[in-house]
A and B are shown apart, each in its own frame.
Chain A
Amino acid sequence: MTFDIKDPSTWINWFTWCVIISVVISAFLLTWIPVMLVVERRAAAWMQRRSGPNRVGPFGLMQPMSDAIKMIFKEANIPRKAHKILFVMAPALAVLPPFVAMIVMPLGGSVNIQGTEYALQGFNVNVGMLFFLAITSLHVYSVLTAGWASNNKFSLMGGLRASSQMISYEIAIGICMVALVLTYGTLDLREIVKLQEYGSALPAWGFALQPVAFIVLWICTFAETNRLPFDLPEGESELVAGYHTEYSGMTFGMFMLGEYAAMVASSAFLATLFLGGYNIPFITEESLRQLFLDQGLHLTLASLITALLQFGCLIAKIFFFMWVFVWVRWTLPRFRYDQLMDLGWKMLLPIGVANVIVTMVVTYFLKRGG
């Protein structure tokens, strides 16, 4: 591959590097799943004034283990006339896009090992924003394939509705990205995070510079991950269970895994664009590294601790967004299908376009005056 990764002199080198990246990113995403399982059910119970799962382990913290055991041992039967290959392929198509999308997220600062700076990121493309949109737009295929391959009319209707919802809200995401490119001047996610550092060119984090785009993109990520209030495709009281009616056992588990992973990836994306990414507020990476260097630590260790602290800050921001995902799920009722489509096409899209026009005017006058 012709990317400038750290000395791909032999393909063994390059292959090892890819394996390391895959394992680290997968471990990061997979750690969130059990955490979110517990948090979601305990938070739901707390909001509904009951106690959630509290039998398995202290405070129910081992609940995901019993969930996993149940899902593995449950019979995952395939309907008789279903298309076997596509039926089994659909959950895989649901799990893969979030994992691929997390590769381009900047997870932390750089670690200085023997002179070269290794960024805590899988692979930096200079079109990171569009890469994320492109990969999450592949999430539609899992829904479509699952709905069709189940050989069940309700599944098919649920699948078609879900996919039309997802592609409608992708357009609003695209419009918000136009406004963001105007503001930041680059599509590169690492540059965007560096621009939001304390004391650099931009005066504030993204949510203060582009509040309208923030709100619109946040609403659209709810629609993209099929979370309430855009829950119609998997609505538990409509259409049986939507596109994953016929799935049970581990195949259903993969759908849930994909949904939580997509939530984490979208939260990381929102944090990177609007909440300053891995930047700790009011502290630059240089000053933090200098703090550890003054204590007499080696440069590698100082940069490692800095990067890990920034990574922890990103985790806090992701947790904030995940908490809002859970909070909204158990607060708001579900949208009807026509209300959903009206919101996407008739409200969010014009608001996004107006935002782009206002951003264009403001950027032009700022650049001309400055």
Chain B
Amino acid sequence: MMGSPTILQWIIGAITLASALLVILGRNPIVSAISLMATMFATGLLYFSLGAHFIGVVQILIYAGAISVLIIFIVMLLDLRPTRVNIPGRAPVYVLSLVAGATFFVAAIFSVLPLLRAVGIGPLGNGQQPEEISMQLLSKYMIPFQATALLLLAAVMGVVVLGKKNMMSERIAKGAKKS
């Protein structure tokens, strides 16, 4: 980690940031969604370039392969049209947001990065093997692991319930509106 970043890391980093900017600046929601997929994929490539193969594969599998697909699905299902990025009358909000974001970024960069230069850790074991990660998950992070399993179960049930049409509450609401 003490060497300078390779050329490939520079290129992939640039692609990541360009895609991220396209996410927030794209007029068409589909362009934003596909740029999100590109950002996730590029971040996965950054993990690969670090040597963290397992996390890179997990990132591509879950983020780029499932979450982004879900987002694109919903955008197509709801048929979201291209919106205006700059709505008149909101200029003060944009300027303030830009100032806040830039201040945060510059402050974070200038406070965190110089600290990282001076840190000299000893031998770099390759802690990114799936065996080592699973040892951590099953010993030290066992409770968050089980809690995440419960959370996923609750999320699945919630999504199925929220997606049902023609629920009793909707029928009652429609009946009340008619009368």
A residues sitting closer than 8 Å to B (CB atoms) are: 1-3, 11, 83, 86, 125-127, 130-131, 133-135, 137-138, 140-141, 144-145, 148, 156, 160, 163-164, 167, 170, 187
Contact = CB atoms under 8 A, between A and B. Distances in A.
Contact of A134 (B37, B61, B72): B61
Contact of A1 (B6, B28, B61): B6
Interface in B80-138: 129-130
Contact of B69 (A83, A127, A134, A144): A144
A19 to B, nearest CB: 14
Nearest to B54: A127
Contact of A167 (B53, B64, B69, B76): B69
Contacts of A170: 65
A145 B30 CA distance: 9
Contact of A126 (B7, B37, B65, B129): B129
B57 interface: yes
Contacts of B57: 125, 127, 130-131, 134
Given A1-B51, A160-B76, 13 more contacts: A1-B48, A2-B50, A126-B130, A127-B54, A127-B57, A130-B54, A130-B61, A131-B53, A138-B64, A140-B65, A140-B69, A141-B72, A167-B69
Given A2-B49, A3-B51, A156-B76, A133 B61 contact: yes
Contacts of B61: 130, 133-134, 137
A1 B60 contact: no
A141 B53 contact: no
A198 B49 CA distance: 36
B49 A1 contact: yes
Contact of B73 (A2, A135, A163, A187): A163
A127 B130 CA distance: 8
B20 interface: no
Contacts of B53: 125-127, 131
7 contacts: A2-B51, A83-B28, A86-B34, A126-B54, A130-B58, A130-B61, A137-B65
B69 A163 contact: yes
Contacts of B66: 137, 167
A17 to B, nearest CB: 13
B142 interface: no
Contacts of A138: 41, 60, 64-65
Contacts of A1: 6, 8, 48-49, 51
Nearest to B58: A130
B166 to A, nearest CB: 18
A144 B54 contact: no
Nearest to A8: B6
A84 B40 CA distance: 23
Contacts of B60: 134-135, 137-138
Contacts of B48: 1
A81 to B, nearest CB: 13
Contacts of A156: 76
A156 B30 CA distance: 13
Interface string B5-27: 01110000000000000000000
B7 A148 contact: no
Given A126-B130, A144-B72, A148-B30, A11 B65 contact: no
A140 B33 CA distance: 14
B27 to A, nearest CB: 12
A158 to B, nearest CB: 12
Between A1, A2, A83, A135, the greatest number of chain B beta carbons within 10 A of the residue's beta carbon is seen for A2
Nearest to B72: A144
Contacts of A86: 30, 34
A164 B69 CA distance: 10
Contacts of B30: 83, 86, 148
A91 to B, nearest CB: 15
A113 to B, nearest CB: 26
B6 A160 contact: no
Contacts of B7: 11
A141 B37 contact: yes
Nearest to A159: B76
A133 to B, nearest CB: 6
A160 B7 CA distance: 39
A22 to B, nearest CB: 14
A145 B35 CA distance: 12
